[in-house]
Each structure stands twice: as structure tokens, then as C-alpha cells.
A and B are shown apart, each in its own frame.
Chain A
Amino acid sequence: MKIEIDLLTCKDFGECALSAPKIFKMDESGKQSLRLNTTASKVVFDVLEEERNSAEEAVIVCPMQALAIQ
């Protein structure tokens, strides 16, 4: 399963890290930690199938609707 995050739309509310802590983390300054490794606006990455439930939860609770499962 793949997840897409739009880092321009994302405003670092951190809800995804609460719903899916194994997939999303916030860094020490409270920013989406995926920002550390990239300057791209959209990032797509692989997620283990066993994390599907928490990934789906993260998608629906995102206050900016910045996440999608592909």
C-alpha cells in the first residue's frame, strides 16, 4: 500500500501522528518529520499492509485533507 502526502497542503497539525504513530512522526519543532528529507511538495511512500487501519484513520482525521491512500 502507498500513501501520498501533500506537504504544501499539510499544516503540521499532527493528527496523523496520533492516529498512525508508526507511519507519521512530528519532529522536535512540531513539524511533519517527512519534511526533513525532501523539498518536494508531494511525497509518496510504501506502508506495510498491517498498518492499513491506522493509515485509513490518519487520512480521515487530517484537518487539511492532505493525505491519500493510493
Chain B
Amino acid sequence: MASDFDLKGALATYAKGQLFDPYPLYETLRLREEPFWSDGLGMWLIHGFADVEEGLSDPRLQNDRILGYERALTPENRVKFKALNEHLSHWLGFEDPPVHTQSRGYLKEYISGRLAIRMKPIIEKQIQEILTKAQSHSEIDLITDFAYPLPLAIICDLLGIESGREEEFKALADAIGIYPGNVGPILNEVAPAAQEALIKMEAFFDEMVAKRLAEPKDDLITRLGQLASEGLLSHQEMVSLLTFVFLAGFGTTLNLIANGMMLLFTHPAEKEKLIAHPELIGSAVEEFLRFESPIQIVARLVREDFEWHGKQLRAGDYVGLNAGAANRDEAIFPDANVFYIAREPNRHIAFGRAAHFCLGAPLARVEAQVAIDQFFKKFPRAEMISPTPDWLPIISFRHLGTLRVKLNYEN
């Protein structure tokens, strides 16, 4: 099979975001050349588990990728959109030690394993509302009607967004998120709208923080607002961290729930196994994370010239550590391309590793476990209608557009 694989064709399709089953390409590249320089993407790609894990711990690869954004802007735009690049520079995912260690410490006090345990009853209540709403329809779209509302409600609850203003906040965060979500010259075109949203976001948080300082609550806006008022965080850092937590925790969790549902519907025997043995939900969620990792590529920038497996990496080069590919590495996972909900052990790398290891992992796990467990308890006979997975053309994320199901609900 490997011999008649059309590598050139697959790479061209991949660079356009149109390779909807990227796993054969990942495997071919992993076995052939590591790191692999992609002209189409303008970055070094890493696919093997050991190398991705090593890359995530290597201080010569930095999270600060602001240089990459500045490089893509025209000199005039570099001045005009300075505030936007500064905003981005305070995102936890763009910081390096020692600043990163301090900011992460501020978030860690709140976004902890304990938070996930504390939020479980809220998650259970939310999911019951979502399922009750669904039951009056014979068909639903699992993306918009199931995978979307839960993480939105939970992340807004955690932050402390006033109820009724979730969509307004999300629209602003998404508009800002478009900017870091792109690379190359197109950044000049997306920057104006992102900067405009950033100005509105600052006003939005200023209003909320003022309210919370007057009347504190147990949420992240109160916490970071207090740190800012004590002078421990700048106003800019506070706005950046709050925006970042939303963007790090919403779409990723949506995709975990959606991808998990898709995997169960396309592997009916595994779905029946889960329905018969609901106690497998914990290991099932780990297998969703491994098999269709919501974040495929974790990006880094080369800090200093160095040689890796005989390839010369230059300071300023982009490196894409492909967690989605690493999670299919046969060297670590026997029958890596087999989806198996009882897989044990399963030390996947979907939440990253080392200093930037996902702070929201416990929360995301609980959300997915509760949502999917409760869905099949209520709708055990649901059937998928969408014929093939509708992957969106995005290389860095595994993100489905729609997933229609017939609920076959029996009272």
C-alpha cells in the first residue's frame, strides 16, 4: 500500500486543507523524513510520538511566535496593529518562561483539577437541559444542538460572563481569534477586524471587572480583576488571559464531543459496547482524544539554530508538532489505526506535554464524559444520517461542520 501512495499529490491537497483523511500522509512522512520541511505550509513538520514529545519539552523551540506575525505584516501595518500583536504576546500559549510560569500560576490556582470536580453538577444540569430540548425533535445536528451549547455555557460560567451575553462575548473572541488562526500575508487583511474586536473586548471586560470588584464572585473575571487592581497583572495581560482561556477551552471541547460522537456512530460495535458498559466512558473519551485529536498541530518557533535528526533548523523557522499524527504512531500504540474504546494504556498527547500542558484537561474530560454518557442513556437508538464525516478544511484542528442524527426517542 505504501508504495503506491501518491505523496506529492497528498501533500498538495494537505497544504490546501483538503486532505480529509490525513493519517496515511502522516504515517508516510513519519517513516520517511523527520523533521519534514513543507514548502506549502512554510514549516517543519514532526509526526513521530517520541519527537513530538521531545519537541514539546525542548527550550530551543519557543511558544512566542509574535515574530512570525510581525514578519507577515507590512511595515505600515506593523505600527497600525501593534496593539493586536501585544495582545497576542500575553496569551499563555505565546509566552515562555519566566513570564509564562508566572501567568500560568495565576490561572492554575483557578483552572485546576478541583475546578472540574466542582463543575460536574453544573455540567450535568446543563446537559439535561440540552437533551430535553433535543427530545422534541426527530432529528438534530449534533454540532449545533449538542456539542456547541455545553462547552459554551461551561467556559462562560468559569470566566463569569453575565448570562445572556455569552454569544456577544463569543463573537468578539472569535473575531480576535481569526488573527492568530492565520499565517502569511493574509494577516494584513484580517488584522483590522480583529483589532476592532479587541477594542470592544477591552470595554466588555472593563465593564465586567468593575461589577465584580464591587461584588466579587467565584469566577475567573473576579480573580484576574483583583490581580490587576493589585497591580500584579497589567490591564492588557488581564484582557489577554481572559480572551485566551475562552479560545483555548471552547472550540477544543466542542470538537472533542463532536468527534467522539462521530467515532461512535461510524464504529457501531464500539457504540454498542459503550451503551452496554457505560463505565467505559472514561477510557472511551481518552480514545476519542487519541484517535481524532481536536488540536492536530501544536506550533512553535525555533529560538536558536540547531540540528535535529540531521536537519538544520534556523532561528525564526516555524515548527509544527503534530499531536494528531503522534497519537497514531505504531511504536507507541499497538494497532494505532484501530479505534478501540477500552484501549489501555493510552498515554496520548492530545493535551500536549510539559510546561504548556493543557490546564483545562480535567474539565474537558468531565464535559465529554458526562455529555456522551447522558446522550446514549437518553437516546440509545439514535442513528447517524450524515453519510461521511464533514471535516472542515483546517489543518490544525479536527473540526466537523455538521453531524446530523435521527434520535429515535422512546419515552
Q: Check: A44 CB closer than 8 A to any chain B CB.
A: no
Q: Which of A21-29, A33-41, A59-67 contacts B (4 or more CB under 8 A)?
A: A59-67
Q: Kindly state the separation between the CA atoms of A53 and B117 in the bound complex, as whole angstroms.
A: 10
Q: Check: B353 CB closer than 8 A to any chain A CB.
A: yes
Chain B residues with CB below 8 A from A57, complex form: 112-114, 117, 362
Chain B residues with CB below 8 A from A11, complex form: 57, 354
A32 → B minimal CB distance (Å): 15
A13 touching B114 in the complex, CB below 8 Å, given contacts A60-B365, A61-B361, A61-B362 = no
Chain A residues with CB below 8 A from B117, complex form: 53, 57
Chain A residues with CB below 8 A from B80, complex form: none
B288 → A minimal CB distance (Å): 16
Q: B353 touches which one: A18, A53, A63 (CB < 8 A)?
A: A63
* CB pair B113 A13 closer than 8 Å: no
Q: Assign chain B's interface to a size class.
A: 10 to 19
Q: Kindly state the separation between the CA atoms of A60 and B117 in the bound complex, as whole angstroms.
A: 12
B287 → A minimal CB distance (Å): 15
Chain A residues with CB below 8 A from B365, complex form: 60
Q: Kindly state the separation between the CA atoms of A20 and B353 in the bound complex, as whole angstroms.
A: 20
A64 touching B112 in the complex, CB below 8 Å, given contacts A11-B57, A57-B117, A57-B362 = no
A37 → B minimal CB distance (Å): 25
Q: Check: B306 CB closer than 8 A to any chain A CB.
A: no
Chain A residues with CB below 8 A from B108, complex form: 18
Q: Kindly state the separation between the CA atoms of A63 and B104 in the bound complex, as whole angstroms.
A: 13
Chain B residues with CB below 8 A from A63, complex form: 353-355, 357
* CB pair A60 B362 closer than 8 Å: yes
B91 → A minimal CB distance (Å): 18
* CB pair B355 A13 closer than 8 Å: yes
Q: Kindly state the separation between the CA atoms of A68 and B117 in the bound complex, as whole angstroms.
A: 19
* CB pair A60 B361 closer than 8 Å: yes
Q: Kindly state the separation between the CA atoms of A51 and B400 in the bound complex, as whole angstroms.
A: 40
Chain B residues with CB below 8 A from A68, complex form: 345
B265 → A minimal CB distance (Å): 27
A-B contact count (CB 8 A): 35
Q: Kindly state the separation between the CA atoms of A19 and B112 in the bound complex, as whole angstroms.
A: 8
Of residues 48 through 84 on chain B, the ones whose CB sits less than 8 Å from some CB of chain A are 57
Q: Kindly state the separation between the CA atoms of A18 and B353 in the bound complex, as whole angstroms.
A: 18
Q: Kindly state the separation between the CA atoms of A63 and B352 in the bound complex, as whole angstroms.
A: 8
Chain A residues with CB below 8 A from B57, complex form: 11
Q: Kindly state the separation between the CA atoms of A64 and B355 in the bound complex, as whole angstroms.
A: 9
The residue of chain A having its C-beta at the shortest distance from the C-beta of B346 within the complex is A65
Q: Kindly state the separation between the CA atoms of A60 and B114 in the bound complex, as whole angstroms.
A: 11
Q: Check: B267 CB closer than 8 A to any chain A CB.
A: no
Of residues 331 through 383 on chain B, the ones whose CB sits less than 8 Å from some CB of chain A are 345, 347, 353-355, 357, 361-362, 365
Chain A residues with CB below 8 A from B354, complex form: 11, 13, 63-64
Residue of B117, B347, B355, B365 contacting most chain A CB atoms (<10 Å): B347
Chain B residues with CB below 8 A from A13, complex form: 354-355, 357
A2 → B minimal CB distance (Å): 15
Q: Kindly state the separation between the CA atoms of A63 and B358 in the bound complex, as whole angstroms.
A: 8
B117 → A minimal CB distance (Å): 7
The residue of chain A having its C-beta at the shortest distance from the C-beta of B358 within the complex is A63
* CB pair A61 B355 closer than 8 Å: no
Q: Kindly state the separation between the CA atoms of A48 and B357 in the bound complex, as whole angstroms.
A: 28
A56 → B minimal CB distance (Å): 8
Chain A residues with CB below 8 A from B357, complex form: 13, 63-64
Q: Kindly state the separation between the CA atoms of A35 and B108 in the bound complex, as whole angstroms.
A: 25
Residues of B near any A CB (own CB < 8 A)? 57, 108, 112-114, 117, 345, 347, 353-355, 357, 361-362, 365
Other contacts beyond A58-B113, A60-B113, A63-B353: 13, CB < 8 A: A11-B57, A11-B354, A13-B354, A13-B355, A19-B114, A57-B114, A57-B362, A60-B362, A61-B361, A63-B354, A63-B357, A65-B353, A68-B345
A selection of 24 A-B contacts at a CB cut-off of 8 Å is A11-B57, A13-B354, A13-B355, A18-B108, A18-B112, A19-B112, A19-B114, A53-B117, A57-B113, A57-B114, A57-B117, A58-B113, A60-B113, A60-B361, A61-B112, A61-B113, A61-B361, A63-B355, A63-B357, A64-B353, A64-B354, A64-B357, A65-B353, A68-B345
5 A-B pairs with the lowest CB-CB distances in the bound complex, closest first = A63-B357, A57-B113, A61-B113, A60-B362, A65-B347
